[in-house]
A and B are shown apart, each in its own frame.
Chain A
């Protein structure tokens, strides 16, 4: 299993957005329009100044505009050890958190963990488990995701 990918920092994303736009030779206004945001020049400017981050969909589109994929906005992290999403290695049950992150995307496991602790968290995790039921994963990944969700469910707020 490879290392997990996570999004680059705000500043790195800002720099990359600017580089992509300049590589395409577009003004901020034209670039915004090409991204489906007519009158979005101010938003592009905020991205380039790291005042805001573009969403994953927009990052994907920008990468495609220069013939790359979204991974240019990501960094490969070394295998996670020690603290993972607020849990220490000693308390991580049998599932592999790296697989969970690779299967669910970088932000979903953390988002679920946070919301599982709030009122209605158990319903949320149960729903998520159902939503994943037909995902086309190999057995190892399936076990990792189910292990993580079961762990969340055991600790979720009613």
Chain B
């Protein structure tokens, strides 16, 4: 099967999310939309000391997907991390036996879920500005320094996000 690009895979997740929240990806989510997304896709979250891991997603337990977030995550980052984990759920990656704690190079699907999550929190105006501005805005919105996350992932996400945002505009009528 032909391999789909990371951007296209992220758009696939946006299309799925739009089954619950029609505007997903066109602007940052409102609180009620965020709750609706989690409820429709059966994802619940809780906090625990994960010793340096931002989150761990588990397959359905008693009918619900469960994401455990590190209790040290800043409150404003929890939404981003939760959306990232929801991306894995939408991609069907939480239904199969999997390695729940990654060590070594991250699989491509992490980038896909990052892009999906960023579309739910980064204001359109920042995405359209692109370049270094977008890079710095992502660093502000998702301060995950303590998790060793930004160094590797933000530059490539900032490069891809405007392209994905453009593709989202073509999704009208998809849902």
Contact between B59 and A108, CB atoms less than 8 A apart: yes
Which one of A8-16, A37-45, A78-86, A88-96 is at the interface?
Answer: A37-45
Contact between A57 and B95, CB atoms less than 8 A apart: yes
Contact between A56 and B96, CB atoms less than 8 A apart: yes
Contact between B59 and A130, CB atoms less than 8 A apart: no
In the complex, whether A1 has a CB less than 8 A from a CB of chain B is no
Known contacts: A57-B92, A124-B56, A127-B56. The answer to whether A104 contacts B103 by CB under 8 A is: no
Interface of B is mostly: loop
In the complex, whether A2 has a CB less than 8 A from a CB of chain B is no
CB distance from B56 to the nearest CB of A (A): 5
State A132–B51 Cα separation when bound (angstroms).
Answer: 19
Closest to B59 in A: A108
In the complex, whether B148 has a CB less than 8 A from a CB of chain A is no
Contact between B46 and A131, CB atoms less than 8 A apart: yes
CB-CB contacts of B32-65 with A at 8 A, as 1s and 0s?
A: 0000000000001011111101001011111010
Contact between A127 and B62, CB atoms less than 8 A apart: no
Name the contact of B99 in the complex, choosing from A108, A110, A115 (C-beta under 8 A): A115
Contact between A105 and B56, CB atoms less than 8 A apart: no
State A118–B98 Cα separation when bound (angstroms).
Answer: 14
Q: A107-B59, A111-B98, A120-B101 are in contact. List 5 more A-B contacts (CB 8 A).
A: A39-B1, A56-B96, A57-B92, A120-B51, A120-B103
CB distance from A126 to the nearest CB of B (A): 6
In the complex, whether A136 has a CB less than 8 A from a CB of chain B is yes
State A55–B92 Cα separation when bound (angstroms).
Answer: 8
List 23 contacting pairs A-B, 8 Å CB cutoff, sorted by A. A40-B1, A43-B1, A55-B92, A55-B95, A56-B95, A57-B95, A103-B62, A105-B61, A108-B59, A108-B61, A111-B97, A115-B100, A115-B101, A119-B103, A123-B51, A127-B58, A128-B56, A128-B58, A130-B48, A131-B61, A135-B64, A136-B62, A137-B62
B99 contact set on A, CB distance < 8 A: 115
In the complex, whether B66 has a CB less than 8 A from a CB of chain A is yes
Contact between B60 and A131, CB atoms less than 8 A apart: no
A120 contact set on B, CB distance < 8 A: 51, 53, 101, 103
CB distance from B24 to the nearest CB of A (A): 18
Known contacts: A55-B96, A123-B53, A124-B100. The answer to whether A135 contacts B1 by CB under 8 A is: no
Contact between A124 and B101, CB atoms less than 8 A apart: yes
Contact between B68 and A131, CB atoms less than 8 A apart: yes
B97 contact set on A, CB distance < 8 A: 107, 110-111
CB distance from B42 to the nearest CB of A (A): 12
In the complex, whether A26 has a CB less than 8 A from a CB of chain B is no
In the complex, whether A75 has a CB less than 8 A from a CB of chain B is no
8 closest cross-chain pairs (CB), A and B:
A135-B62, A131-B66, A127-B68, A130-B48, A107-B97, A57-B95, A127-B56, A56-B95
In the complex, whether A24 has a CB less than 8 A from a CB of chain B is no
